[in-house]
Amino acid sequence: MKKDCQILWFKKDLRIFDHKPLFEASKTFIPTIPIYIFETNYWKQPFSSKRHWYFIHDCLLDLDKQLKSINSELFVFRDDIIKVLKTINKMFNLKSMYAHEETSNLWTYERDKKVIEWCNLNEVKFHEFPTNGVIRKLKNRNNWSKLRNKRMSEELYKKPQSLKTLKNAFMTNIPSKNDKVFEKGLIASYQKGGRKRGIALINNFLNKNLDNYLKHISGPSLSEKFCSRLSPHLTHGTISVKEVYKLIDKHKKECDLLRISYNKRSLSAFRSRLSWRCHFIQKLEDQPLIENTCMHIAYEGMRSKSPDKRKFEAWKSGKTGFPFIDACMRYLIYHGWITFRMRAMLTSFASYDLWIDWRKSGYVLAKLFTDYEPGIHYSQLQMQSGVTGINTLRIYNPIKQSMEHDIDGVFIKKWVPELKKVPISFIHEPWKMNLETQINCNCLLEKNYPKPIIDHKKAIQVARQKISEIRKKDGFKVNAKKVFEKHGSRKNKSKINHISSRGQLSLFT
């Protein structure tokens, strides 16, 4: 007779604390098989990368330790999920499966549909539980923030004392960090994963860096220290958003009790970002197609899907001839992270200056970001590329950004060493150097460092013109209103009726 069992499926929730599926599974006393699946097909997709896997690999080692502390263990399969389910079902009498809802790529969306179908066919009960503040089957946006805030105020799920597990049920190993599915070559640096590191980051942020958070949030180098750097931990769920809120509340209480002052504006800005996180992921939950379709349909086809190769390569490799753009891109390639403003500027440059479709630039960035979170990523890409129809156009001037955020050119000189000896007066616009200056600072234009690949002013003039023509088309405003009704933030509810004659809402959603 086959033994009964149930599966606990870990995906982007690599922890055992505040984990409802685990909590519920532990109450049944049916032997559990905790699994993580390294889906090779997923890792071949254009958005996934070895850098993500490096982070997850650390998290899985740590998750196995966490599970061992409750008398269990993790089984990591390198296969297709349906094949894994079939194998388990063949050896045991699989009764049910526990997991968090996942709002991710269209790829995982289709995969989940197959899993549900398989469970139904095989009479396996699939228990799915909500993730963070994302509401599945949300009827409309009006009540979203109320529902989400209620969710965030709920108690945390304690880790169970013990999880009855089918130990040694399978001999599995975590695939290597350099598994053969990935392209060869090392990655320069990567953020390390694991719950302990996530907890250390939030504590360090609250106790040491919070006061200077807003001051440095946009600076390309200081942001690395003063932002929380929690993003990959939230993406892969070593810590839940709800838990971060509880830690913030605890910190506030302790400060108040001990009469320690703290920067209230910074704390409130940080809390808002956690809320934006859920807000953006909710958009993808409500409309999975925004991964590959413009929110406002009128913008579909506006940019060619086959970008100018020379420009695309220059942007991807940090060789555009715009020092600050190149420094940011090279920093990102090295670290796998860069702060919000610089992500927005890199996207804006690709979308408006180089007229590259956001789906092309988006995959490049997705692979580079350790924290790649589809809901935030695709919504932000669309916003920063002007294709939502409900956000004000934000076109970044790379020279102005450079002068504001790297006044002395220290960041540029570090990441674009070709410009190391360029005088400060030319560091933001080296193309203005005459030949004598170029020779004196060992930086001959085109030989040592490229001339700008485009004329910024002209390029954005053309971009604005093209966008404005689309906005004037019949039906634009009607569709913009529909986008707003589906996805817009209700903080400025009154604005729903005030879409301007250009079909543009001045909202930050």
Ligand X SMILES: Cc1cc2nc3c(=O)[nH]c(=O)nc-3n(C[C@H](O)[C@H](O)[C@H](O)COP(=O)(O)OP(=O)(O)OC[C@H]3O[C@@H](n4cnc5c(N)ncnc54)[C@H](O)[C@@H]3O)c2cc1C
Q: Under DSSP, is residue 34 helix (H, G, I), strand (E, B) or coil?
A: strand
State the Cα angle at 320 between 221 and 53, rounded to 5°: 55
Binding ligand X by CB under 6 A: which of 229, 330, 359, 490? Answer: 229
User: How many of the chain's residues bind ligand X (CB under 6 A)?
Assistant: 27
- Cβ-based nearer residue to ligand X, 23 or 226: 226
Q: Helix, strand or coil for residue 391?
A: strand
* Cα–Cα distance measured from residue 386 to residue 106, given in angstroms and rounded to the nearest whole number: 22
Say if CB 270 and CB 263 are below 8 A apart. Answer: no
The H or E element that residue 50 is part of is: helix 50-68
Should residue 344 be labelled a site residue for ligand X when binding is judged by CB under 6 A? yes
- Tell me: does residue 388 bind ligand X (CB under 6 A): no
- For ligand X, the binding residue among 376, 387, 393, 467 (CB under 6 A) is 376
| CB 416 within 8 Å of CB 327 | yes
Cα–Cα distance, 281 to 256 (Å, whole number): 33
Q: Does 377 bind ligand X (CB under 6 A)?
A: yes
Report the alpha-carbon distance of residue 418 to residue 105 in Å, rounded.
Answer: 39
Q: Please report where in the chains the tokens 């080692």 appear, as a residue.
A: 61
Site for ligand X contains 252 (CB under 6 A): no
Check residue 371 for interaction with ligand X (CB under 6 A): yes
In whole angstroms, what is the distance from residue 355 CA to residue 65 CA? 48
If one asks whether residue 216 binds ligand X (CB under 6 A), the answer comes out as no
Judged by CB under 6 A, which of 245, 372, 396, 426 binds ligand X?
372
Q: Does 274 bind ligand X (CB under 6 A)?
A: yes
Least Å distance, CB 198 to ligand X, is 10
Site string for ligand X, 156-195 (x = CB under 6 A): ----------------------------------------
Chain-centroid distance of CA 75 in Å reads 26
Q: Which stretch binds ligand X (CB under 6 A): 18-26, 117-125, 179-187, 229-237?
A: 229-237
- Binding residue for ligand X, selected from 235, 320, 438, 489, defined by CB under 6 A: 235
Our measurement of the distance from residue 130's CA atom to the centroid of its chain's CA atoms, rounded to an integer in Å, reads 19
> With respect to ligand X, which residue has the nearer C-beta, 340 or 431?
340
- We find the least distance from the C-beta atom of residue 79 to ligand X, in angstroms, to be 27
> Out of 380, 401, 402, 438, which residue is the one contacting ligand X (CB under 6 A)?
380
Among 15, 164, 277, 413, binds ligand X (CB under 6 A): 277
C-beta of 361: minimal distance to ligand X in Å? 9
Binding flags for ligand X, 280-309, as an x/- string (CB under 6 A): x-----------------------------
Q: How far apart are CA 434 and CA 439, in angstroms?
A: 9
Per-residue burial over 430-469, b if 16 or more Cβ lie within 10 Å, else e, is beebeeeebeebebebeeebbebbbebeebbeebeeebee
Separation between Cα atoms, residue 53 and residue 26, nearest integer Å: 28
The count of other CB atoms within 10 Å of the CB of residue 133 is 23
Please identify which residue in 164, 343, 487, 490 interacts with ligand X, judged by CB under 6 A: 343
State the residues that interact with ligand X by CB under 6 A: 227-231, 234-235, 270, 273-274, 276-277, 280, 339-340, 343-344, 347, 369, 371-373, 376-377, 380-381, 384
